[in-house]
Amino acid sequence: MSTLIIPPGYRSALDVKQTEKAIKLVKDFFETNLAAELRLTRVTAPLFVLRGTGINDDLNGVEAPVAFPVPDMGGHTAEVVQSLAKWKRMMLADYGIPYGYGLYTDMNAIRPSEALDNIHSLYVDQWDWERVISEQERSLDFLKTIVRKIYSVMKRTEFHVWDHYPFLEPELPEDITFIHSEDLQREYPHLTPREREDEIVRKYKAVFIIGIGSALADGKPHDGRAPDYDDWTTPTLNGYKGLNGDIIIWNSVLGRAYEISSMGIRVDREALLRQLELTGAQERKELLFHRRLLNGELPLSIGGGIGQSRLCMYYLRKAHIGEIQVSLWPPDMVEKCKASNIFLL
């Protein structure tokens, strides 16, 4: 069921033409700086992959991808990508990317199962990135180092936007705060994960929640994660688990926590086997991606996705992602938005 937030008295600071120019400003600057900060090379990505290879992502395990038959390939079924976590890791190997370097791409996806609201669309556009790491870098400290690098690019971009549009004042705090999902559940045991995010991000404004996928003290994970890309089970320190997480910032226009990136250190052989068993998905071991990983053909890596439209929506202080990208929306949502000065592209 769609839930629409209408900010009281909302008026966009930029008209449609100004918005289109500003979108390009944000995307060009952020992309260039992210590539330099993480030492990434841009590559071209697929819009669809073959079903049955294990390359497409299951996200939290329940979304169904858009699929269609390919007559010239014997009727084999292709699926529109949902993200490129596993494809990128294969490309690190196939392109011979050396240690300490990586790749990124413009990922365009269709997620037909999304519940449409201010920040969720059928169309997903993000920078998907992946970088080769060493065994020693499969650690919480290294994960935090990469998160801080990404956050520094976010801060830099915010200043760049402010420099061009002085009325869009910076809001990001100087530093990002790290918190384990276990601690978040202990601090707010009677709240839902989404409500916990609102409380912690309202307090600190920019947060990285560590360890998303494993069951917490209440028997439920903070959020779902597929078993075959992020490592959400490896023990770290003091009983904590997981080498992944989400970058979440405070959206002052919507008055809520706002996820910008899901990322993490990827599974090694042991973590993959463990997570496939935990989720009852051992049959995936026979798929192309999983065979390559289990056979030692893929490098250790860290990677994630960063929402392009979400970043633009945040920096340009928009109330709806449809003010940034062209998608499909329920007619009643379009009318409600129009009546409230939210003009969808």
Concerning whether 259 is annotated as a catalytic residue, the answer is yes
Catalytic residue among 111, 131, 225, 317: 111
Return the percent helix, strand and coil in the chain, to nearest 5: 35, 20, 40
The order of strands in the sheet holding 206-210 is 40-42, 102-110, 123-132, 301-307, 256-265, 244-251, 206-210, 177-180
- The DSSP call for residue 174 is S
Concerning whether 231 is annotated as a catalytic residue, the answer is no
Catalytic residue among 31, 57, 125, 228: 57
Per-residue buried b or exposed e for 313-345, using 16+ beta carbons within 10 Å of the residue's own CB: bbbbbbbbbbbbbebebeeebeeebeebebebe
Q: Which amino acid is at 123?
A: Y
Concerning whether 126 is annotated as a catalytic residue, the answer is yes
Catalytic residue among 82, 121, 126, 181: 126
Catalytic residue among 63, 183, 199, 259: 259
Beta bridge partners of 261: 247, 306
Catalytic residue among 82, 262, 309, 327: 262
Concerning whether 51 is annotated as a catalytic residue, the answer is no
Concerning whether 18 is annotated as a catalytic residue, the answer is no
Concerning whether 83 is annotated as a catalytic residue, the answer is no
Catalytic residue among 128, 246, 268, 323: 246
- 131 is written with which tokens? 């970088």
| Angstrom distance (rounded) from CA 333 to CA 318 | 16
Give the catalytic positions in this structure.
57, 111, 126, 246, 259, 262
